[in-house]
Chain A
């Protein structure tokens, strides 16, 4: 029983009380459902947590969420201390989120096509090139100066030129995402190859592995920790560039969605769009983290 008296649960009860207060007028159902769902998840995590540390973690995260929701609700709905246009009410935003979901999902498909094409293109080129350049000393010395010069150029500066150069917006944004994702993967793959312990390379040489086998079964997995770092970084870059490209030239997609409604000062939809993007990014990050853990299982 004592375990249930936590900051998270107290804030949840306070939030419930605020939402259900008799004089509050209509009950904000969407907000209520979200709050109850968060509390349910927090309680399940609390019950299934294996260590005291992760139990506290679940509680703390819940407390932060309830605090933000409570503050948002009170400041916009009960006491209206914030500007109404710039700070929409949580209930209105959530209602709109549900209504806009089909449109946003359609936009998401368009965005993901760009993101995935550009990113996979970068992965498919930067990874093998990085392995080869890291492995062949002469190639490295030939390529390294160019990497040093071209790598640090912020890929956003390519956007206007890419749009002018390439036939369609789609091609231009795939190109920019590709460039942005290419360098982090390439540079980290090369340094990953460099950081493979010499002893392991000796072991491989002693086994007389042919070069393709060597690259696939020793150099690639040996460089994998660094490759994962680069690939994660590249994904972040790809997202930023996707949003930037859509802000500039798209007519659909999640970045375009936010930018379009900001132009019309429809900040409700702007916030809806931002929440949607954050959910998408969280889902993708969760997936890549699991993949990374699988790939690097041997390190633990």
Chain B
């Protein structure tokens, strides 16, 4: 629900420039996918948005106010380690709820947590430890936590990157369904991925990023109608055109970009 704006954001790790001059705006309720090859700094960009690291230059604003650190106005779902393994799925959500809405009764937190687990199809998992859940179930629980806290901005760092194709498809559908429930209350989402089809399926706008240093190569609106159904969408002409365009942009200059930098890997990537 918040507008998020980055203007001329730079980020260096030591002497190495990881991100150069990133400027982009997400309207309130926007769904933005950050798409790029590994090492392009898309995860770093998400960490900047989360407030886990500070930019070396430029400004990031959230509804007009500058981001100075982590906050509960931004829910984050990581690829891994989102849940604390020593707490049950329910306890993980309750801990977040206690931070977001302090001073409520224990039973209230319990009920809310159980409700959100139910919502993501994990009604039975309240008392289960993350180690007892599959990877897909863990990510469901992490999404349930992010929505339970009801932060206006949702940051997702390749949340489905470690899942098999079928589970990933289910979770993409779940995410879309949760996100588009109410038009006026939609969260502003930043979603990091390197999967072109995933980006087209999910996003309002796709930010394609390039390497060495990480930069914005182009911003592409996705004018496909919602709700998007995977099986119909993949057959459409518009989808094919979009995909070709993105793949072309992703690959153009990729060899020269690699030549310019001495190494393929970016020190500090993922910090």
Residues from chain B with Cβ under 8 Å of A298 in the complex: 85-87, 129-131
CA of A199 to CA of B138, assembled, Å? 15
Cβ contact within 8 Å between A221 and B86: yes
With A203-B81, A299-B85 in contact, do A208 and B99 touch (Cβ < 8 Å)? yes
Tell me the nearest residue of chain A to B98, going by C-beta.
A213
A207 and B72 contacting across the interface, CB-CB below 8 Å: yes
Query: In the assembly, what is the distance between CA of A218 and CA of B85, in Å?
Result: 10
B73: nearest chain-A partner, CB-CB: A208
Docked Cα-Cα span, A224 to B80, in Å, equals 20
Does B84 contact A197, Cβ atoms closer than 8 Å? Answer: no
- The residue that A203 contacts in the complex, of B71, B72, B84, B129, with Cβ under 8 A, is B84
Residues of B within 8 A of A222 (CB): 84, 86
Q: Mark A193-235, 1 if CB is under 8 A from B, else 0.
A: 0000101101111111100010001100110100000000000
CB contacts under 8 Å to A, within B57-113, are 70-72, 74-76, 78, 80-87, 95-96, 99
Count of A residues near B, CB < 8 Å? 21
List, in ascending order, chain B residues with CB within 8 A of A200's CB: 81, 84-85
Most B CB atoms within 10 A — which of A206, A213, A297?
A: A206
A300 within 8 A of B: yes
A299 touching B80 by the CB < 8 A rule? no
**Closest CB-CB distance, B93 to chain A, in whole Å?**
11
Which of B72, B82, B84, B129 has most A Cβ within 10 Å?
B84
A300 to B129, CA, bound (A): 10
- B75 to chain A: closest residue by CB: A206
**Smallest CB separation, A292 vs chain B (Å):** 14
Is B52 an interface residue, CB under 8 A from the partner?
A: yes
CB distance from A218 to the nearest CB of B (A): 6
B50 within 8 A of A: yes
Using a Cβ–Cβ cut-off of 8 Å, how many residues does chain B contribute to the interface with A? 24
- A199: chain B residues at CB < 8 Å are 78, 80-82
- A197 vs B80: C-alpha distance when bound (angstroms): 10
Q: Which listed residue, B52, B82, B95, B129, touches A217 by the CB 8 Å rule?
A: B95
Chain B residues in 8 Å Cβ range of A299: 85, 131
A97 to B115, CA, bound (A): 62
With the chains together, A209 CA to B76 CA distance in Å? Answer: 14
Inter-subunit contact B99/A202 (CB<8 Å): no
Q: Could you tell me the distance in whole angstroms from the C-beta of B185 to the nearest C-beta in chain A?
A: 22
Most buried by B among A218, A221, A298: A298
Q: For the complex, give the distance between the alpha carbons of A205 and B76 in Å.
A: 10
Give every chain A residue within 8 A of B71 (Cβ-Cβ): 208
Contact of A202 among B52, B74, B86 (CB under 8 A): B52
Q: Which of A205, A209, A297 is B52 in contact with, Cβ under 8 Å?
A: A205
Q: List 20 A-B contacts (CB under 8 A).
A: A197-B81, A202-B47, A202-B81, A203-B84, A205-B52, A206-B52, A206-B70, A207-B70, A207-B72, A207-B99, A208-B70, A208-B71, A208-B72, A208-B99, A217-B84, A217-B95, A221-B84, A298-B86, A298-B130, A299-B131
Given A206-B70, A298-B85, 12 extra CB contacts under 8 A = A197-B81, A199-B81, A199-B82, A200-B81, A202-B52, A203-B83, A203-B84, A206-B74, A221-B84, A224-B86, A298-B86, A298-B129
Please report A residues at the B interface, Cβ cutoff 8 Å: 197, 199-200, 202-209, 213, 217-218, 221-222, 224, 297-300
